[in-house]
Amino acid sequence: MDIQGDIRTWLLKQQDWLQEAADRLLKNGLLTQDDIAALASHVKTAGGQAVTHHRPFDELMHDPQDLSEVRLTRIDGVTGIESLGPRKPLDFGDGNLTVIYGHNGSGKSSYTRILKKVSGKPRALDLKPNVFQDLPAESKCQISYSHNALSHSPEWRVGSPPIDALRQIDIFDSDEAGHYLRGESAASYTPPVVGLFEKLAVATDKIKELLQAEQAKLTSALPAIPAIYQQTQLAQTYAALHALRKAGDLDKLLEWTDQHTQSLEALVERLKADDPDTLSKQKRRTKTQVEQIIASLSKASNAYSIVNLNAVRTLREAADAKRKIANEAAQVKSAVIEGIGSETWRALWEAARKFSATPYPAQPFPVTEDARCVLCHQELQPDAQLRLLDFEKFVQGQLERDATQAEAQHTAALDELPAIPTEQQVQTQCEAAGLTDVKWKEYLLAFWSKASAARISLINFELIEEAVPVDDVKDNVLVLGTYRDQLEASATQLDADALQFDRVKANSEKLELETKKWVVQQAAAVRAEVERLAKVKAYDGWKTLANSRSISLKATDVAEKVVTEAYVGRFNRELQALGASRIQVELIKTRTKSAKVLHQLRLKGVKNAQGTPETVLSEGERRIISLAAFLADVADKPGSSPFIFDDPISSLDHDFEWHVACRLVQLAKQRQVLIFTHRLSLYGAMEDVSKKEGEAWQKAHYRPMCIESYAGTSGQPADQEVWNNNTKTANNILLTRLNEAHKAGEAGGAAAYRALAQGICSDFRKLIERSVEEDLLNKVVLRHRRSVTTEGRLAQLHGILPAECKLIDDLMTRYSCFEHSQSGEAPVIIPEADALKVDLESLVKWRKDLNERRAQLAAA
């Protein structure tokens, strides 16, 4: 099918403004803000709304491919992000396949979150500083990468925009897995001919947003009709000016003649007395507002009087004095450091009390017999037991209770201080109470300003400024009381009024005329409002034109042929490559949104529509199909950008794990692949699979790494020389490190030697284990490797001597204490340099003898 021709035919049936948007996109690839503004102006014109046929759209025949190349080099200088605090950069090397191993909490996911944020992924979580440390001065890192062979190392700060060149990075983690499993997703890459519709939809949305913004500026300046007129018929017309259809209707609304004036005067003459019922209610509402002002003034006058200020001061002084006495009494004789009884110390003590219920749920705090300190986990010696009991005696003592009670009383007194009304609230109160004289507003503002200052001073413990009492309100309250009584007397009189004519009807007519007079007085504003409403209506029509629905419908038709079939095919191939084709699942198109075709994973052949992959499949099956959906989405994108996987084999069995490893190596043939994992089995599988591509390829592209946590921070690249080198080289490395440790001991003493020798002993224990696998058993079976390799290896196991088995057994026993925990009653003693050297060299000699013996047997 001629997709390009079909799209051109469709475009030539659209209005000119949309054709112009498509033409600019095809020529330039994107629309600038100026383009959007020009198109928004064009859609308002008759020419923009006409269907034209003069554009050839030749660019539709071209389908340019994105051939840009991006490689991540390293992450350096991480500061104030998550728990990361590496001393060295995380260097990804020059090859295409980097496997970063680390145990839980080593920082793998933190690095992934950084990369998701700098690449602008939609489901990237906000980066936070280490919650167990003080807030950092800044949160940043340096991201080194190459883009089309040009190196870049920008410093990126948390909160900054993503790095544009890194947006094409693809990342798979648990959040992405959940998205592919539960939600609808659009293909990350679509051919440019289809991408045109997505861009057009985005453009129309932006045009609509711009029109909406312009429309929003057409704010009404029409005055609000007074409350007294709101129930009249004319008020309804005033509120619905958009319903005026003819110019004559507006002229009639704004007409005021002498006849109108005479009619209003006649009604006023007849209604010399106001409507008793309405006016009575109004006066009582006014009276209520006056009473509220009197009450608030009286309450504040008492609260901020010199008597109450002194009472609060007395409570504060009592609290300070009792706290001082309690803190002085807190100098427990058994204490060895200062600060007992301070606020920080008391918080620490109460936290320890709560935690004690976990290890010692049935014993009262503090537990001292046959127990450990809940803070440092050291066994409690008699002096420590006594100290804990002294501390608890202090906390439970009368002085501490007195101090706490006094502080609570002072806090309660502060809480009871009346709140201070805002200037707007004062203004509203005056208007509602009928206090039209500006002096009342000035008086109330001055009073509340003084009360506010006193309140702030008390809350701040009068550290900055002493609280000053407010002025006496007795005279003003008396005046307000008189005014209140007058209002009530007037309302009572109105209740008793009885008139002989239909005052309700007359008053209604009077209100209608008064409403009309008021509306006529707003004539200029009314005419401006009618003009504004006409513009708003026009904008509603333009926004309707800038609707992306027709674009989405056409995109659905095109994408069905160009996107969906290819996407589904890739998904099925990925299922097969990952060994998951037996799982009854399929990828189907669900709908089109903003010209993007959305797809979702569904179970195949279900008879209960409520069954979903998330509720039916096992955790491992869910993981593998979400990985297949991810790879189907991103693996065939043009160009070359990194793939990042954070624990891709979570919950997978060994079969799936092996297939995943094979697929990741295949990906690494074309692009950079970074894998973060805590599974040593995957670590080993990646080495095995990469080796199948040939030693030359493995040497050029495969880079195993390890990260770890240390001293409260994570993401530390670990020294892997002993892990990654062959056993002979690793043995020599340990001998070199021992020589350095010996020199350090001669210069700095035993402590300096032991600090280095501890690590040598630990690595030596690992080397002995590797020597059993790789030398003694000739790599027939390796831990964390799927296969058992016998070809050309099994015959050389013949002739293993009892003596060398004893040597290995003795070394394993002697150095196991450096890898496995030992009894505290049998402390581990690090061997002297000479003894350690003998053991290291004995392994060297054994390996040499073993290899020579096997060579002789092979020659015979």
> Residues 221-235: pLDDT tens digits?
999 999 999 899 998
Tokens found for residue 583 = 């799982």
pLDDT at 330: 58
Tokens found for residue 44 = 């308002």
Residues 403 and 458 in one domain: no
* Size (the chain), residues: 860
Specify the higher pLDDT residue, 593 or 23: 23
Q: Please check whether residue 479 lies inside any domain of the structure.
A: yes
Decide if 334 contacts 390 (C-beta within 8 A).
yes
Residues 421 and 467 in one domain: yes
Q: Please check whether residue 560 lies inside any domain of the structure.
A: no
Q: What is the mean pLDDT of residues 10-30?
A: 91
Measure the CA angle with vertex 733, ends 731 and 737; round to 5°. Answer: 120
pLDDT exceeds 80 at position 437: yes
Decide if 768 contacts 819 (C-beta within 8 A).
no
- Strand 97-101 versus strand 702-710 pairing type: parallel
Q: Can you tell me the distance from the alpha carbon of 148 to that of 67, in angstroms, rounded to the nearest whole number?
A: 9
pLDDT at 443: 92
Q: Please check whether residue 369 lies inside any domain of the structure.
A: yes
Q: Please check whether residue 505 lies inside any domain of the structure.
A: yes
Among 363-372, 455-464, 680-689, 720-729, the least confident range = 720-729
Q: Can you tell me the distance from the alpha carbon of 779 to that of 793, in angstroms, rounded to the nearest whole number?
A: 8
- Percent of the chain's residues with pLDDT above 90: 35
Strand-pairing partners, residue 145, are 72, 152
Residues 284 and 240 in one domain: no
Residues 709 and 724 in one domain: no
pLDDT at 242: 85
Give the gyration radius of the chain's Cα atoms: 42
The DSSP-derived string for 815-841 is HGGGTS---TTS---PPPHHHHHHHHH
Residues 394 and 438 in one domain: no
Tokens found for residue 175 = 């959040």
Residues contacting 605, CB < 8 A, separation 6+? 584
Q: What is the pLDDT of residues 565-582, one digit of tens each?
A: 777 888 889 889 998 888
Domain encompassing residue 765: 719-859
- In whole angstroms, how far apart are CA 346 and each of 179, 321, 452, 838? 46, 18, 33, 55
> Of 480, 496, 512, which closes a domain?
496
Residues 847 and 758 in one domain: yes
> Of 391, 412, 433, which closes a domain?
412
Decide if 761 contacts 836 (C-beta within 8 A).
yes
Among 249-258, 413-422, 679-688, the least confident range = 679-688
Residues contacting 414, CB < 8 A, separation 6+? 312, 458, 459
Q: What is the mean pLDDT of residues 323-332?
A: 68
Residues 831 and 723 in one domain: yes
Q: What is the mean pLDDT of residues 780-802?
A: 72
Query: Averaging pLDDT over each range in 56-60, 88-92, 265-269, 650-654, which range is the top one?
Result: 88-92
Q: Is the dihedral of CA 67, 68, 73, 76 positive or negative?
A: negative
Residues contacting 451, CB < 8 A, separation 6+? 300, 303, 304, 418, 420, 470
Residues contacting 770, CB < 8 A, separation 6+? 727, 730
Q: Please check whether residue 59 lies inside any domain of the structure.
A: no
Main-chain phi, psi angles of 650, to 5 degrees: -55, 125
Kind plus residue range of the DSSP H or E element containing 79: strand 70-79
Q: Can you tell me the distance from the alpha carbon of 171 to that of 160, in angstroms, rounded to the nearest whole number?
A: 20
Q: Give the three-state DSSP class for 146.
A: strand
Q: Can you tell me the distance from the alpha carbon of 343 to that of 341, in angstroms, rounded to the nearest whole number?
A: 7
Closest CA to 238 of 462, 519, 607, 1: 519
Q: What is the pLDDT of residues 339-395, one digit of tens each?
A: 776 777 777 877 888 888 888 888 888 888 888 888 888 888 888 877 777 777 677
pLDDT at 277: 66
pLDDT at 269: 44
Q: What is the pLDDT of residues 798-830, one digit of tens each?
A: 778 888 889 989 888 888 877 655 545 556 688
Decide if 782 contacts 772 (C-beta within 8 A).
no
Residues 649 and 708 in one domain: yes
Confidence of residue 113 (pLDDT cuts 50, 70, 90): very high
Q: Please check whether residue 584 lies inside any domain of the structure.
A: no
Residues 350 and 397 in one domain: yes
Residue tagged 């000479």 (tokens) = 834
Q: Give the three-state DSSP class for 95.
A: coil
Q: What is the pLDDT of residues 288-317, one digit of tens each?
A: 999 999 999 999 999 999 999 999 989 988
pLDDT at 166: 94
Decide if 469 contacts 454 (C-beta within 8 A).
yes
pLDDT at 551: 85
> Of 412, 432, 463, which closes a domain?
412
pLDDT at 837: 92
Confidence of residue 44 (pLDDT cuts 50, 70, 90): very high
What is the value of pTM for the model shown? 0.52
Measure the CA angle with vertex 377, ends 383 and 328; round to 5°. Answer: 45
Measure the CA angle with vertex 483, ends 479 and 488; round to 5°. Answer: 145
Among 18-27, 428-437, 603-612, 632-641, the least confident range = 603-612
Q: Can you tell me the distance from the alpha carbon of 608 to that of 615, in angstroms, rounded to the nearest whole number?
A: 12
Residues 265 and 281 in one domain: no
Residues 749 and 786 in one domain: yes
Amino acid letter, 659: H
Q: Please check whether residue 164 lies inside any domain of the structure.
A: yes
Beta strands in 594-653 (DSSP E): 596-603, 643-646
Residues 728 and 663 in one domain: no
pLDDT exceeds 60 at position 774: yes
CATH value at residue 127: 3.40.50.300
Q: Can you tell me the distance from the alpha carbon of 504 to that of 527, in angstroms, rounded to the nearest whole number?
A: 32
Q: What is the pLDDT of residues 135-179, one digit of tens each?
A: 999 999 999 999 998 999 999 999 999 999 999 999 999 888 888
Kind plus residue range of the DSSP H or E element containing 36: helix 33-42
pLDDT at 786: 61
The domain tally of the chain equals: 5
Q: What is the mean pLDDT of residues 836-847?
A: 90
Tokens found for residue 299 = 């309450």
Tokens found for residue 314 = 């007395």
Q: What is the mean pLDDT of residues 715-726?
A: 73
pLDDT at 267: 62
Tokens found for residue 330 = 């807190």
Tokens found for residue 257 = 């003649």
Exposed/middle/buried for 37, CB within 10 Å: 0-12, 13-18, 19+? middle
Q: Give the three-state DSSP class for 242.
A: helix
Amino acid letter, 440: W
Q: Please check whether residue 12 lies inside any domain of the structure.
A: no
